[in-house]
Structures are given as C-alpha cells and as structure tokens.
Amino acid sequence: MENFWKSTKMKVILGILALLVGVMVYAVSVGGYTISTVDFFSAITAPFQRASHSISEHVEYSIDVYRNAEKNYEDNRALRREVARLSKELADYDQTKNRLEELEAFVGIKEMYTDVTMSAPCRVTGYVTNDPFGKFRIDAGTQDGLSLWDPVVTEQGLVGVITEIGADTSTVTTVLSPDLSIAAYCSTTRDYGVLTGSVALSIDGMCKLQYLDKETLLKEDKVILTSGDNGLFPKGFVIGYVRGVQMDDSGMTAYASVEPAEDIRNLDLVTVITDFAGKSEELP
C-alpha cells in the first residue's frame, strides 16, 4: 500500500485532481461566480452519456429486429404469394383478351366474305426449317374438314395454300413460294397477271405479279386481289400491295413487286377456306 502512494500512478491521479481544482478556482476568480460540482462533472461526462445512449438505442433496435424476424419472414412470404396470384390473374386476363381478339378477327373475316365456307381459327405451330419462303404448319387437318389445296387466309388477306395434310396437322405453302401460282388482278387498273414467288424478291418478303402488259398502269400501293379464274382461290381476296413495276428481261411484258398484306413470317392464327363458289373439283 505504501508503495502505491509513492507510485507513478498516484502521482498522475494527484496531478489530474490538482488540475481540476485549479480550473474551478480560476473560474471563480475570473468569472465571479461559482461552479457547481454536479454541473462541472455533468459537463465532463456529457459526451460519454450521449455515446452510451446511442449504443443503447442501437442495441435495442437490433433486439427488436431479431424479435420481429419471424413475423417479417411470414409477411414477406404472404406478400410473395399475393404477387404470384396477381401475376397469374394478369396472365389469364391477357390470354383471354388475346383469344377474344382472335375470335373477333375470325368473325370479321366471316362478315367480309359471306360467300365462302371457313374453318375455325387454326394455330400456327411452327415454320418449316430451312424453307426460305416461310412454309408453316397448322394444328388442323382432315379430321377438321380441311383438304389439300384449300386456301389459307387471315383478316388481312391470302397467305398460302395447304400442300401437305394429315389427320390433325397441315403444311401451308405461302405466296412467297415459286411453287405457287395465283391468278390475280388490280381492280382499279384492271391489270391481270399471275402472282408467284421469286427467290430474289422473297429475301425482302415480296413476290411477283408477272405477265403484265408493258403499258400497265399499275403504280405503287395499288391493291392486288385474287381473280378466281383458275378455281383454286375465291375471287376478291387481298394478296398484297404493289411496291414497284419493272420490265421483264424480254422487254415484252412487265411485272410488279408485291408485298403480301400479311406478315408471312410472323403468323400466329389463320383460317382455312374449305369451300367457295366456283371452286374447281380437280386438284392441281
């Protein structure tokens, strides 16, 4: 104990006490007022009190988060279930809306062409791989009343003809294919010709109306329709629109570049014409 009173630690403590007493005496002599011991030590300890309060609040918040973790977890699970339910309802709504639009389009075709018999709407199930002319398959066949060489249309116009058929599926060759020839005309200029595919034009999604008179009056944006002359297609269905007129290499006739009315390579739903006035009874 005697050693402690003589130790360096004791000297330091006494020095600090002397400093504090000196500060108090100086304040009294200079300021003319007294300093409460309580106030003095409160001023000294205030920063430590604030730090302690901050730490206490942080610990209390952490404990509260821990206590409520299970409740928050359940709330999040319930919220996720509600989001999933609403997403499904939205998907069902979109599907129903799309189906109604498809049926409206089908009804629209029926109203526009009352002299033809049509199938129910058919879904395009896929395009034939490596076919540059957009040949595609549909989910209907002979069991649905379809036959070879039945024309295939959309609300916009003619897109092709059935060239392969099974019980519940069919393959459609499009108007872009050179294998297809369609008697066609322009109702305003009375120009007649044969519409067929072209390897060169198909790259740009177009086909060719050939054997036109070299004095043709066809111009850009004129509408090309089926003429119904060969009995394979009903008369008056839109095929496409003129995008240019040129002379054949022979110089004897002209031809028109025709853009199909429908986007051939992005089809989703089509309708098949199963019967019409003037239909040929003989297959090509």
Alpha-carbon distance of 257 to 206, in angstroms, equals: 7
Q: Which residues contact 148 (CB under 8 A, 6 or more apart)?
A: 162, 163, 164, 165, 283
Architecture of domain 116-276: Beta Barrel (2.40)
**Which sequence spans correspond to the domains of the chain?**
2-57, 116-276
- Across-strand partners of 122? 270
- pLDDT tens string for the chain (284 positions)? 555 555 565 565 666 656 655 555 455 455 554 445 445 445 554 554 555 555 555 555 565 655 666 666 666 777 777 777 766 666 655 555 555 555 555 666 666 677 889 998 999 999 999 999 999 999 999 999 999 999 999 989 999 999 999 999 999 999 999 999 999 999 999 999 999 999 999 999 999 999 999 999 999 999 999 998 888 999 999 999 999 999 998 889 999 999 999 999 999 999 999 999 888 777 66
pLDDT at 250: 85
Alpha-carbon distance of 244 to 220, in angstroms, equals: 6
150 neighbors 165 (Cβ within 8 angstroms): no
How many other CB atoms sit within 10 Å of the CB of residue 33?
7
Q: What is the DSSP letter of 164?
A: E
Q: Which two tokens stand for residue 163?
A: 């060239």
Q: Which residues contact 4 (CB under 8 A, 6 or more apart)?
A: 10
Alpha-carbon distance of 141 to 150, in angstroms, equals: 11
pLDDT at 38: 46
Nearest to 260 by CA among 173, 164, 159: 159
